[in-house]
Amino acid sequence: MTIETTPEWPEPTCDEPSTGTLMQWADERRAQATDGCWLDADTPVCEHGHPSWAVVLGLMPDEEDVRGE
């Protein structure tokens, strides 16, 4: 997959996870941000402003999409 970052997102500091890893995280109801922070599965952005890999890869909406902005 191609990573599509938006101007407000910091550059990823960890490698993009495999599809299998993403599926495992979903089963465990957790996610990883692009800086390595662990998140609840439904949390789109970590406290440092890095989005979840699920958001970056289009598997869940980001905060602005959720708020309708």
pTM over 0.85: no
How do residues 14-32 score in pLDDT, each as one tens digit?
999 999 999 999 999 999 9
State how far the Cα of 41 lies from the Cα of 29, in Å rounded to an integer.
5
Structural domain of residue 36, as residue ranges? 19-60
Residue 28 is predicted with a pLDDT of 96
Residue 65 is predicted with a pLDDT of 54
Rg, Å, the chain Cα set: 11
40 within some domain: yes
66 within some domain: no
Residue 67 is predicted with a pLDDT of 45
How do residues 35-63 score in pLDDT, each as one tens digit?
999 999 989 999 999 999 999 999 887 76
For the chain, how many structural domains are there in total? Answer: 1
Burial tier of 12 (Cβ tally within 10 Å: 0-12, 13-18, 19+): middle
68 within some domain: no
8 within some domain: no
65 within some domain: no
Residue 3 is predicted with a pLDDT of 58
